[in-house]
Structure 1
Amino acid sequence: MAKLNSILDNDFYKFTMQFAVSKMFPRAQARYQFINRGQHQFPEGFDHRLRTAIHELAKLKLTKAEKEFLRIRCPYMDPTYLDFLAGYRYDPDEVQVEQSGGELSVSIEGYWYRTILWEVPIMSLICELFYESSEQPRISNDAVREVAKEKMAKYDRLDITVADFGTRRRHSYEVHDQVIRTLKHQPSKTFIGTSNVHFAMKYETTPIGTHAHEWFMFHAAKYGYKMANLLGLEHWSDVYRGDLGIALSDTYTTEVFFKQFDKKLSKLFDGVRHDSGDPVTFAAMTIAHYQQQGIDPLSKTIVFSDSLHYDKVENIVHFCKGKIGYSFGIGTDFTNDVGLPRMNIVLKMVEAKPEDGEWTDVIKLSDERGKHTGNPSEIAIAKQILKIED
């Protein structure tokens, strides 16, 4: 049965955000909700299997070797945080799992600094348990490695850098392990690391990540939509002092983001991450923004991470080459290409409660028009405040 064997089997940006949250917002609370975008139907008893797997997570703890890995590879995380993480344990009471017919409900509530680690492990468990329950045979491990090798051979020819971002919707731990092992042993320098901290340690590569949409969503709940991007980035730079300098741009649309991404922040951050909307349009906007700020776009990097596959990457490279730096975070196309339909699920923050504040709906306004997520009335308010038209 699916289970996790390491507390570091999670995306790096969950730990980097946890560190920042514990320093800046230790009394903030959060609620998360599972969203079944693919309308997958879960078999009878799936909720029991998932609950059992979630309770197993409570047994995980940071080992001395894992703590030493973080100390060496992440010097911007101070010793007090590493000591905290060594004492951290998942609390299954923070998670509620229910099932009605084929519909699955998962909700999380608690202090933000604690609940922030749940999203990625629960999503990966849902995926693995779903495939186990369906009993549909996947391709062999040899075939998994061959597929990964063939993909990297094509990416090698593009002369780019690629990282694995595939933990959340992977087919299984075993498939993920086979993929990372294959990428690590490629003779090229194309593969530069993984968002999964456990595999970064296991295969002696770089853990990659900065922050996610929830960082800015919380800032909107605390400070308002007009200040969310600006204060989110200011607070990030206050914590990391120039490290982890790729800014996520599309929480409230990239157009709004660039209005607040002033010359100071544009110079301070190493680049931006693209996660929704047309990537070429985004690249053109980013290049124009840096030029308007008097900054050479070639001194900056765009990290592309939205549903990437080879043809999409090739198109991006052809546009960006010689204009701006670029790198790629590839997720499901690496870790769930096993001959079965891929799952389309997310687990998002839906409400936040700042210290001395009230529970507030949080939303995301995607660059893909009409695909905003969250409470419709709150979306309408945010669009009006930010003057966004679909």
Structure 2
Amino acid sequence: MDIATRVWNHKWKIDPIVRSLIDTDFYKLLMCQSVFRNRPDTQVTFSLINRSSHVPLARLIDEGELREQLDHIRTLSLSRGESTWLRGNTFYGKRQMFRHDFMEWFEQLRLPPYYLERVGDQYELTFEGAWPEVMLWEIPALAVLMELRGRAVLHDMARFELQVLYARAMTKLWEKIQRLRPNPSLRIADFGTRRRHSFLWQDWCVQAMVEGLGPRFVGTSNCLIAKNRDLEAIGTNAHELPMVYAALAQSDTELARAPYDVLSDWHEEHEGNLRIILPDTYGTEGFLDRAPDWLTQWTGIRIDSGDPAEGAETAIRWWQARGEDPREKLVIFSDGLDVEKILELSAQFAGRVKVSFGWGTLLTNDFRGLTPDDRLAPFSLVCKAVSANGFPTVKLSDNPNKAMGPTPEIERYKRVFGVGEQERMEVVV
């Protein structure tokens, strides 16, 4: 694939950014099925949040082109081949992961309307409606905005400049892969869909990982790439589930129970390596202190905010205190990873727990230092559920710089979940 030539020839009508409803993360489809089964009538609002306000998206991205891309996504539906793959493939060792009733619904789905408005140098982009439908906007909306921003920066580059840029980017990634190669126990997956440079670039990065790391590269979160490249689709669940369940709670008692209600529903549907705890939505330590004993039997934990080493140490202490052997448990690191941190964490926890890495933005969008003024550097853009049935959602995280929600509700959640002082850490991506 000559990516530079494809970029040079970009015309959205023949080269749309999002090509398929399964050009999304695998965990989104797993969560969607859970929501479809357990909370199908919940009404939610998702909103775009640009944490990197210095990136003026509305000045970089033409509103008409953004609307064309979003409108194109609303025309997409599952192809016969995609449906067959979801219905018949084996995921995490289980055949028919997706239920018949869910697949019948998904096969008829078109994504609901969006609401777009320019406010200063930023865009307000929101999606409202039934939770199973609206939640599927998150990943494609982010992918569109990230790629349109990249196309805007690349637009005035000459063909030779583009060829040199992508050659340098390829070399940069390959050097990272070479640094990872000497680690025989490495277990790493691509988690980079939502803030990728482009679909074509993510696909190239995945192929490079396959060739460079062999079986130590365990798969990709991107369903379309997993299907096309015959790879494992990787992913479990995300903060969205406890955030919405918590927003629906009618009392402080129900609020305190909400994160465990999420995992109880998940426990009924999944087993093995899909039983991964994401504990940091309302603070990891408090979550684990109050966790029911049946959660200690789950396979592992994903660390997605705060100091990753301290998060893993907290998990190890918890397992030990509950009579579990941490060496039999899996810790997945997934927050802002790059090679140095992957190597450091791999060495620190070798032999103490099973370790895996979900490598995201700095795998699929590391163009830092490759353009004048660093205009292609990745930035922190998210699309989150901000309300459920009219009630605001809240996320506390283990890093207060990632917290979101109305201030009074944040304070209430801190009280209910016993969250004290937290260390602020820079949010890179």
**Bin for the TM-score computed over the shorter chain:** over 0.9
Letter of the structure 2 residue corresponding to residue 379 of structure 1: I
- Cα distance in 2, alignment partners of residues 103 and 225 from structure 1: 33
C-alpha deviations, 1:239-286, integer Å up to 9, x for none? 22556111211100101220233321110x210111000011011100
Matched residue, 1:356: none
TM-score, normalization by structure 2 = 0.85
Instruction: Note the C-alpha offset of 1:317.
Output: 1.5
2:302 — aligned with what? 273
Worse overlay, 18-27 or 360-369: 360-369
Q: Secondary structure at the match of 1:70?
A: helix
| 1:256 paired to 2:291 | no
Contact in 2 for aligned 1:3/1:56 (Cα 8 Å): no
2:187 maps to what in 1? 161
Shift of the alpha carbon at 1:68?
1.8
Does residue 20 (structure 1) correspond to residue 20 (structure 2)? The answer is: no
Contact residue 46 and residue 387 of structure 2 kept, 8 A:
yes
What is aligned with 1:78? 99
Secondary structure of the residue that 2:212 maps to in structure 1?
Answer: coil
Q: Which amino acid aligns with 1:202?
A: N
Select the residue among 314, 319, 325 that pairs with 1:285. 314
Contact 1:210 1:247 in 2 (8 A): no
TM-aligned CA deviation for residue 238 of structure 1 = 1.6
Q: Give 2:56's aligned residue.
A: 41
Count of matched residue positions in the alignment of Structure 1 and Structure 2: 382
| Alignment gaps of 5+ in structure 1 | 354-358
2:365 to 333, 336, 340: 336
Identical amino acids, percent of aligned pairs: 30
What is the aligned partner in structure 1 of residue 224 from structure 2?
A: 198
Deviates more, 1:279-288 or 1:80-89: 80-89
Gaps of 5+ in 2: 1-11, 371-375, 422-429
- Cα distance in 2 for residues equivalent to 1:220 and 1:337: 35
In structure 2, the CA distance between the partners of 1:381 and 1:187, relative to structure 1 (3 Å rule), is closer
Of 315, 335, 344 in structure 2, the residue corresponding to residue 306 of structure 1 is 335
Provide the rounded CA distance (Å) in 2 between the counterparts of 1:82 and 1:153: 41
**Partner-residue secondary structure (3-state), 1:207:** coil
Cα deviation 1:2-43 (Å, max 9, x = unaligned): 521111100111100110000011111111111111111122
CA shift digits 1:132-186 (9 cap, x unpaired): 1223656544444433332222222223111001111111112111111211223
1:1-390 to 2 correspondences below 5 Å: 1=12, 2-39=16-53, 40-42=55-57, 43=59, 46-71=62-87, 72-74=89-91, 75-91=96-112, 93=113, 95-135=114-154, 137=157, 140-158=165-183, 159-186=185-212, 188-223=214-249, 224-242=254-272, 244-267=274-297, 269-338=298-367, 339=370, 340-353=376-389, 359-369=390-400, 371-390=402-421
How far apart, CA to CA, are the structure 2 residues paired with 1:386 and 1:261?
12
Q: Is the 8 A contact 1:12 1:207 kept in 2?
A: yes
| Contact kept? 1:148, 1:183, Cα under 8 Å | no
Q: Distance in 2 between matches of 1:300 and 1:126?
A: 37
User: What do the CA deviations read for 1:174-227 (whole angstroms, capped 9, x no partner)?
Assistant: 211111121122353221101110011111111111111010111112233311
Root mean square deviation, CA, Å: 1.7
Aligned equivalents of 1:378, 1:286: Cα separation in 2: 27
